[in-house]
Amino acid sequence: MVSLPGRVSLDDVDDRGLASRSSDGDIRAFEVLVRRYEQLLGTYALRVLGSAVDVDDVVQEAFIAAWQQLPTMEDFGAVRGWLITIVTRKSIDRLRARHEHSDIDEVEIEARSDGPDVTASANSLDEALSKALSALPPDQRRCWLLREVAGYGYDRIAQELGLPVSTVRGLLARSRKSLVREMEAWR
Amino acid sequence: MTDPMMPPGDSPLDEQNLDGHTIEELSDYLDNGRQPTDQSIESSAGAQNALAALSRLRALAPRILEAEAKAAPVRDASWFKRLLDQIGVQAHAGREIPIRSDHPEAQLSITEGAVRAIVRAVGDEIDGVLVERCRLDGDVETSGEPVSVVIDVSIYADAEASSVIDELRRGVESALSRHTELNVSGVDIVVRDFEKDPEED
Amino acid sequence: MGYSTPDDLNYRLTQMLRKVPGVTAVYATAPVLPKVLSTVVEVIKNEPTAVHLVTIRDADGGIDIDAYVGVSADEAAPDVCRRAHDAIREYVAGNHDLPARAVKVKIGRVG
């Protein structure tokens, strides 16, 4: 017999079951979802924002919004992508607020490199790509994340980032070119 | 291994290797599932190399963040429990179910959300079943009106479904008669899912 | 006495309710709106006790009181609810210059 569920065994429940139970108001189930995804969402938010300043707030607000919106969610199995969408939206809101409050985009002040040596010190392919992602200019990196992690199409990325679709296509192509170069260096 | 056709330091997405195609064009082609078939792309070794590289990159994308997330310092989530303890009872409270009192100016009630939590807790004490959601059908806000309880559950593989469902029904009836003054007309249990034993993974 | 302002009474009623046998938590009665969520996050993160819990309103010659509680599953919830209600009336009668009129006690969680 399976003993279900104490606090421990909720950890074994899949995303769909946890989301369904959370939508019923179960804080414990939602906590398991929070623990399951907060590292990933924090990392993703850090990548989209480009600095650690607002990461905690974005992740916290995203989970609170998720908790409130869960009862209206239709496909509980898709909770991972749904959380990523909420974090994307919250992160972009922050970026917009930064633009409104200063003429200089602080996110732009970052190490940039177009050269092939970014990954020279990496110990694995994952690490090499991670460094290559850091080295991308912020707009390229954001486009790539919204496309490959959030799964957005060109139109939606353009809308979210306030850029023409043609610009998004170009930024994505350049980001892919840089990342493929690093990836190939590891083959 | 580096492709022997390419000089060192060269990348399949470099312009001179794309056979006249562009990264944008090849990305779009890949996004569309290589449909409709484009012979000029399918017959070009350079374009094929580029498509293969783009596919590999796409396959690696989830890994990059997962690896970073694993390496990142563990975040402190304790504040979250406190917050949910407060907003949690409000966000999902639902209707107010009256509790009788002898005092004419007393307005006593238990929320629908509290009742759903009671139902889940009953399930938590029974092996092999997970109560996912529950719904109260009927006018719960008027004392004495008949209310039926509809419960969505998952049954785990080892459990004997019929006995688990009977046990859950009896437990829910007993808990609701103890903690509420609802007139429960029936408890309907809907099996949403048969799960395999999570410990067998 | 210092018990006479509504805010003070609010705080004292919250403390009193926490000691009623069977009461495990006192929740905020004022709705937490999504619009002010960031403020709420700030308040709860830094000062969990600062959230307004029991609500008191002036009523016809007295005061109306709203409380929102969690109760233990060891006893029948309606019994604990009635006990909390009676305790509020009794406390106000002994510690406030106006009588309690409508007293609303809502259970948000059992166990």
Whether A101 has a pLDDT exceeding 90, the answer reads: no
pLDDT at site B5: 53
What is the predicted pLDDT for the residue at A25? 86
C-alpha–C-alpha distance, residues B102 and B138, integer Å: 25
List the domain range (segments joined by +) for residue A133. Answer: 113-187
Query: 3-state class of B25 per DSSP?
Result: helix
Beta bridge pairs of residue B186: B148
Instruction: Map tokens 């029936």 to a residue.
Output: B186
- State whether ipTM is beyond 0.90: no
Chain A residues with CB-CB distance to B133 below 8 A = 20-21, 23-24
Model pLDDT, residue C41: 58
pLDDT band at C8 (very low <50, low <70, confident <90, very high): confident
Strand partners, B107: C104
The reply to whether A38 and A130 lie within a common domain is no
pLDDT of residue A153: 93
> Which residues on C lie below 8 Å from B94 (Cβ)?
none
Of C51, C102, C107, the CB nearest to B107: C102
- Residue C84 scores a pLDDT above 80: yes
- Cα→Cα distances C38→A41, A61, A175, B43, Å: 18, 7, 34, 56
SS3 label, residue B183 = strand
**Cβ proximity of B109 and B99 under 8 Å:** yes
Residues, chain C: 111
Instruction: Judge whether C101 lies within some domain.
Output: yes
Task: Please determine, for residue A184, whether its predicted confidence score (pLDDT) is greater than 70.
Answer: yes
Query: Can you give the residue ranges of every domain in chain B?
Result: 15-71, 88-200
- Cβ within 8 Å, pair A57-C38: yes
Evaluate whether residue C1 is within a structural domain. no
Whether residue C73 and residue B108 make contact (CB cut-off 8 A), yes or no, is no
Q: Please report residues of C whose CB lies closer than 8 A to that of A90.
A: none
Q: Note whether A20 and A101 are same-domain residues.
A: yes
Residue A45: CATH number of its domain:
1.10.1740.10
Identify the band that residue A120 occupies on the pLDDT scale cut at 50, 70 and 90.
Answer: low
pLDDT at residue number A124: 85
The predicted model gives C64-84 an average pLDDT of 96
Mean pLDDT per 10-residue segment, chain B (201 residues)? 54 90 92 91 93 93 88 75 66 90 96 94 90 94 96 82 91 97 96 64 42
Q: How far is A64 from chain C (nearest CA, A)?
A: 8
Q: Is A74 on the interface with B (CB under 8 A)?
A: no
Domain boundary, last residue among A109, A136, A153: A109
Least confident of A6-10, A165-169, B33-37, B122-126: A6-10
Asked if the structure places residue A1 within a domain, the reply is no
Whether A90 has a pLDDT exceeding 90, the answer reads yes
In this complex, do C106 and B87 lie within 8 Å of one another by their Cβ atoms? no
Q: What is the mean predicted confidence (pLDDT) over C20-41?
A: 71
Residue A44 has pLDDT above 80, yes or no: yes
Query: What tokens does B174 get?
Result: 């007993």
| Amino acid C49: pLDDT | 46
Whether the predicted pLDDT of A107 surpasses 50? no
Residue A79 and residue A73 in contact, taking contact as beta carbons nearer than 8 Å:
yes
Total tally of structural domains belonging to chain C: 1
Whether domain B88-200 has CATH 3.30.70.1350: the reply is: yes
- Count of CB pairs separated by less than 8 Å, A with B: 165
Minimal-distance CA residue of chain B relative to C107: B110
Q: pLDDT at position A113, please?
A: 43
Task: Measure the CA–CA gap between B152 and B130, rounded to whole angstroms.
Answer: 9
Is the CB of A42 less than 8 angstroms away from the CB of B67? no
Overall number of domains in chain A: 2
pLDDT on residue B96? 96
Tell me which of A109, A143, A177 is where a domain ends: A109
In the complex, which subunits touch A with 3 or more CB pairs below 8 angstroms? Answer: B, C
- Domain boundary (A109, A135, A154) is at A109
C38 CB neighbours in chain A (<8 A) are: 57, 61
Paired sense of beta strands B146-156 and C55-59, if any: unpaired
Classify burial at A95, counting beta carbons within 10 Å of its beta carbon; exposed 0-12, middle 13-18, buried 19 or more: buried
Three-state secondary structure along B92-159? CCCCEEEECCCCCCEEEEEEHHHHHHHHHHHHHCCCCEEEEEEEEECCCCCCCCEEEEEEEEEEECCC
Tokens of A111: 């190490």
Same domain, A97 and A121: no
Range of the domain at C17: 6-110
Q: Do A85 and A174 lie in a common domain?
A: no
- Cβ contacts of residue C85 below 8 Å, gap of 6+? B101, B103, B106, B108, C103, C105
- CA–CA min distance A3, chain B (Å): 5
The dihedrals phi and psi of C71, each to the nearest 5 degrees, come to -130, 160
A6 touches chain B (CB under 8 A): yes
Average pLDDT over residues A114-141: 78
Is the same domain home to A36 and A65?
yes
**Can you give the pLDDT at residue A56?**
86
CB B124 within 8 A of CB C73: no
- How far off is chain C from B111, nearest CA to CA, in Å? 5
**Same domain, yes or no: A22 and A72:** yes
For C104, the closest of B93, B107, B117 (CB atoms) is: B107
* CATH label of the domain that carries residue C91: 3.30.70.1350
| Chain C CB contacts of A60 below 8 Å | 41
Distance separating alpha carbons of residues A161 and C82, to the nearest angstrom: 55
Q: Verify that A101 and A123 share a domain, yes or no.
A: no
Asked if residue C32 is part of any domain, the answer here is yes
- What pLDDT sits at residue B9? 62
Asked whether residue A156 carries a pLDDT value surpassing 50, the answer given is yes
Nearest to C34 among A57, A60, A68 (CB): A68
Q: Measured between beta carbons, which residues in chain B are less than 8 angstroms from residue A60?
A: 79-80
Interface probe, candidates C37, C40, C44, C109, chain A, greatest A C-beta count within 10 A: C37
Interface test with C, best of A24, A57, A64 (most C CBs within 10 A): A64
The residues facing C70 across adjacent strands are C25, C109
Q: Which residues of A touch B150 (CB under 8 A)?
A: none
Is the Cβ pair A65, C34 closer than 8 Å?
A: yes
Q: Let me know whether A102 and A159 are in one domain.
A: no
A141 and A87 part of one domain: no
DSSP string for residues in chain A: -----SHHHHTTS-HHHHHHHHHTT-HHHHHHHHHHHHHHHHHHHHHHHSSSTTHHHHHHHHHHHHHHHGGG-S-GGGHHHHHHHHHHHHHHHHHHHHHHH-SS-GGG-S----STTTTTT-SSHHHHHHHHHHHS-HHHHHHHHHHHTS---HHHHHHHHT--HHHHHHHHHHHHHHHHHHHHHT-
Give the integer Cα–Cα distance in Å for A168 and A71: 34
CA B54 from centre of chain: 30
The predicted-structure confidence for C42-73, as pLDDT tens digits, reads as follows: 555 544 444 568 889 999 899 999 999 999 99
Q: Do C77 and B181 touch (CB under 8 A)?
A: no
Backbone dihedral region of B34: left (phi > 0), alpha (psi from -120 to 50 degrees) or beta? Answer: left
Q: Which residue in the set C40, C101, C109 is minimally distant from B105, CB to CB?
A: C101
Do A128 and A86 fall within a single domain? no
Q: Is residue A140 part of a domain?
A: yes
pLDDT of residue B93: 85
Q: Is residue C102 part of a domain?
A: yes
Do residues A168 and A125 share a domain?
Answer: yes
Q: What is the pLDDT of residue C44?
A: 55
Residues A83 and A11 reside in one and the same domain: yes
- The Cα B147–Cα B140 span in angstroms is 6
**Do A27 and B88 make contact, defined as CB atoms within 8 angstroms?**
yes
Q: Would C26 be classed as within a structural domain?
A: yes
pLDDT at position A15 over 60: yes
- Given this model, what pLDDT does residue A53 score? 86
Q: What is the CATH number of the domain that holds A170?
A: 1.10.10.10
- Please give the pLDDT value at position B8: 53
This prediction's pTM = 0.77
Going edge to edge, which strands form the sheet with B146-156? B129-137, B146-156, B183-195
Q: What whole-number percentage of chain A has pLDDT above 70? A: 83
Q: Which residues of B touch A146 (CB under 8 A)?
A: none
